Structure 1
């Protein structure tokens, strides 16, 4: 999984987690305010203030509904429809299946612990939210592929055509300092050899806007990441953890690279690989998961009972 793919996947999870969190809050807030608290006509408690202006709970909820209302309701309806279908089809996800999927998702991070930690630290997604969303996706995939059968010969043919797809790839935790010329790159190397801190130096002189504010850190990349210049990857692959090399010629600039850590993921078992291929081929033959959610909402007569939001 490349850095960009990680970012895209994580963005999807963040959006879903945020929607669920906000939706849960509105649902809870609505129940509490309407049923548990004695009604007070015309009164809405203040939740924030600026100078002498109060922002009320009603104003806050109204804005959330306007901005996220449809998405939140759709998310809840999808969950309910999928749960009903799973019950009807007697489909469940075992603990072992969930752990196996999380192991695949975290393979490029070195461990599940690192994966969970990085998701929470960088994106604010808790382990519980990741587990909930992954469990939901697995159930949805099982529903989508329940009547699709993949023969062993099809798996064999796929693995013969794509023999390297499931081979583990080294992950390198890289930091860079990008400069305009080779001479500047040599100056950076000299300063590092004199004991200056790589992160501080990157923040001071690096031209790379993406990594400069992070002390030059790019993060983990795969050994064949197509979004990283090949010359940079080639140089990094020759290094051991803790080594620094440069200046390295890029397209129009030069870089000094620091390899902080190298992870060599454990190769998945043959059984795991074949099961991954089986699921991939089945999903390619099935209806899309988005379309499946739509069909299940129709099947279970999902309706939004407000004139301001439509399905």
Structure 2
């Protein structure tokens, strides 16, 4: 599926800046969480090599000098964009946000509901930022309604999101094996352990049977998988299913419904895409700074 320019920018942008700001602007805390498992204590060495220690202050100084200007500039960019968007009463259709979040989710592995909610909150702000920035930087470019409509009709699929399911599976050759694996699951064994023990799919067995996200039209999984899981609750497994491969038990991690965006809902996004095609410069939010009173420590004195 061809992604809109907004989708590509959102994905690239979020992957680039995730967590950098947290690292650079957290001096007030004794401990800093890098991720769910790693925690930095500012009063202790970050690493020890023989008798040499790498201190927190040294590490932070390197980060500040290496990324500090970039992060500060990005923070100013965001504030400028959101202030101008508020002044001009810009809005983004909720369907666009929902679609972009869905596209970002399918790039993730298995997440808990809490992890998904946390990511969605962060992503929502970044999606709005990119959308508003595009709107502001392309507002003076003339694009006719007929051009917008024709483009949408030609590339309508790129503005939609197809329903997907996130799956794991156990594949065995006989019904007897499938029943045995199913009984172990019913008795409380983890799907990962049973998949590693029973599944004959060598590519996924070591990963607990994990497959990833799939649509109804995807040809890499048996069609029975998709239809079976539509009636299942997330976090549950199916009864043994007969397929061309033998017998399978499918686990549903997550189900993301389709997001169907109408012409009216996609109008502004399509118009922005067409405007960008007419522009001979990259998106640079710093071009918007002159519309507000902006001063930073990076300003050079004359």
1:121 aligns with 2:115: yes
- Give the unaligned 5+ runs of structure 1: 30-44, 111-116, 306-311
Q: 1:154 aligns with which of 147, 159, 172?
A: 147
1:76 aligns with 2:72: yes
Q: Which residue pairs with 2:97 in the alignment? A: 102
Distance 2:162 2:101 in 1: 13
Going by fraction, where is helix more abundant, 1 or 2?
A: 1
Q: Which residue pairs with 1:275 in the alignment? A: 268
Contact 2:99 2:160 in 1 (8 A): no
Shift of 1:271: 1.1
Q: 1:46 aligns with which of 43, 51, 62?
A: 43
Q: Secondary structure at the match of 1:239?
A: helix
Q: 1:239 aligns with which of 208, 228, 240?
A: 228
- Residues 93 and 20 (structure 1), Cα distance of their counterparts in 2 relative to 1, 3 Å cut: farther
TM-score w.r.t. the length of structure 2 is 0.62
- CA-based RMSD: 4.8
Contact 2:101 2:123 in 1 (8 A): no
Contact 1:203 1:212 in 2 (8 A): yes
Distance 1:208 1:297 in 2: 55
Q: Which residue pairs with 1:113 in the alignment? A: none
- Residues 233 and 265 (structure 1), Cα distance of their counterparts in 2 relative to 1, 3 Å cut: same
- Residues 54 and 288 (structure 1), Cα distance of their counterparts in 2 relative to 1, 3 Å cut: same
Distance 1:275 1:233 in 2: 39
Q: Secondary structure at the match of 1:164?
A: helix
Count of matched residue pairs: 261
Q: 1:43-64: per-residue Cα shift (whole Å, max 9, x none)?
A: xx8335889x8968xx313213
TM-score w.r.t. the length of structure 1 is 0.60
- Give the unaligned 5+ runs of structure 2: 30-41, 106-110, 233-237
Q: Which residue pairs with 2:157 in the alignment? A: 164
- Residues 100 and 156 (structure 1), Cα distance of their counterparts in 2 relative to 1, 3 Å cut: closer
